[in-house]
Amino acid sequence: MADTPLLKLGTRRSPLAMAQAEEARARLCAAHGWPEEAIELVPVVASGDKVQDRPLADIGGKALWTRELDGWLHEGRIDAAVHSLKDVETVRPDFLAIAAVLPRADKRDVLIGAASLAALPQGAVIGTSAPRRAAQALHARPDCRVITFRGNVATRLAKLAAGEADATFLAAAGLHRLGENGTGHPLDTAHWLPAPAQGAIAVECHSDDARVRALLAAIDHGPSRAEAMAERALLAALGGSCHSAIAVLCDLADEALTMRAALFSPDGAERVEGAVTFPVHDAEGPARLAADLLARATPGIARHFGGQP
């Protein structure tokens, strides 16, 4: 094996991001019969990791997770970048392509600090920086209070342990990838829907880099791509922003996608939900559900949608 790696994979430096990059590397090496040293992991500190005291939506949104890696791809410093797909903006630069979506992990959210939302004490403080989680929590428990919780998994668990809040939410997939399988209580998707593309890892590269696209295609998981891209298409059709409370779950079975979604007002008081089933290759299915939801949305919900995603 030559000293020069065959691929340079960019990643954020957080423990979860590194674990996801390790998974992407392991899958690529297994698919191509390479030793581990064939792929170099190149970590970067993302803007979103540098500012922890304000909600992400107030300081630039999801672009703060991708900006540095996008620049490195553009400059040719890396061949591809590994992302949590739920953290990737709906509209991406033309020079980039999502070349692989890894097999999707557990899509659920996990409640930390109580066995259920109903078990929280009256007036409990819930820590989260996600509009979706805040709105869903307040819809179920309007007596509770939400405060901003930013930081990686360990930071948020430490804040909870320090008593800054009574409960918080984390993605089951992230906990699993960090070896924290027994932490918290997974929330039933019959009553609590996740974020678009939650649990999916994406690998992006230059759209015109045929060599890298072909290498990454070997680890692309078709069912996971179909689900995650449909959820992202719903997000785009809704015209939501980082401030919009959108929850969606898509499941693939027998070449059909069943999508359930709910939109909320930021305070959780107003909610509209809907569902649709459509063939996996029907690109307009998510847009039909978006149109239905927006047509039935209350003014308190609708004012947060319909703009540029």
Residue 65 has a pLDDT of: 63
**Hey, where are the domains in the chain?**
7-102+200-220, 109-186, 232-302
* CATH superfamily for domain 232-302: Porphobilinogen deaminase, C-terminal domain (3.30.160.40)
Establish whether domains 7-102+200-220 and 109-186 are of one fold: yes
The matching CATH number, chosen from 3.20.20.70, 3.90.550.10, 3.40.190.10, 3.40.250.10, for 7-102+200-220 is 3.40.190.10
Question: Does residue 261 contact residue 193 with C-beta atoms inside 8 Å?
Answer: yes
| pLDDT tops 50 at residue 137 | yes
The CB density around residue 182, as the number of other CB atoms within 10 Å, is 6
300 HSE (CA, 13 A, CB side):
10
Phi and psi angles of residue 101, each rounded to the nearest 5 degrees, phi first: -120, 120
> Which residue in 49, 70, 79, 87 is the catalytic one?
87
Instruction: Specify which residues 256 forms β-bridges with.
Output: 253, 279
Global confidence as pTM: 0.91
Render pLDDT for 144-193 as a digit per residue (tens, 0 to 9).
Answer: 999 999 888 999 999 999 999 999 999 999 999 999 887 899 999 999 99
Closest-CA residue to 22 (of 5, 51, 42, 2) = 42
Render pLDDT for 244-290 as a digit per residue (tens, 0 to 9).
Answer: 999 999 999 999 999 999 999 999 999 999 999 999 999 999 999 99
How would you list the strands of the sheet with 271-279, edge to edge? 245-253, 256-264, 271-279
Residue 46 has a pLDDT of: 59
DSSP per position, 146-157 = EE---S-HHHHH
Render pLDDT for 166-176 as a digit per residue (tens, 0 to 9).
Answer: 999 999 999 99
Residue 230 has a pLDDT of: 98
Cα 305–chain centre separation: 19
Render pLDDT for 84-93 as a digit per residue (tens, 0 to 9).
Answer: 999 898 889 9
87 is known as an active-site residue: yes
Answer yes or no: CATH 3.40.190.10 is held by domain 109-186.
yes
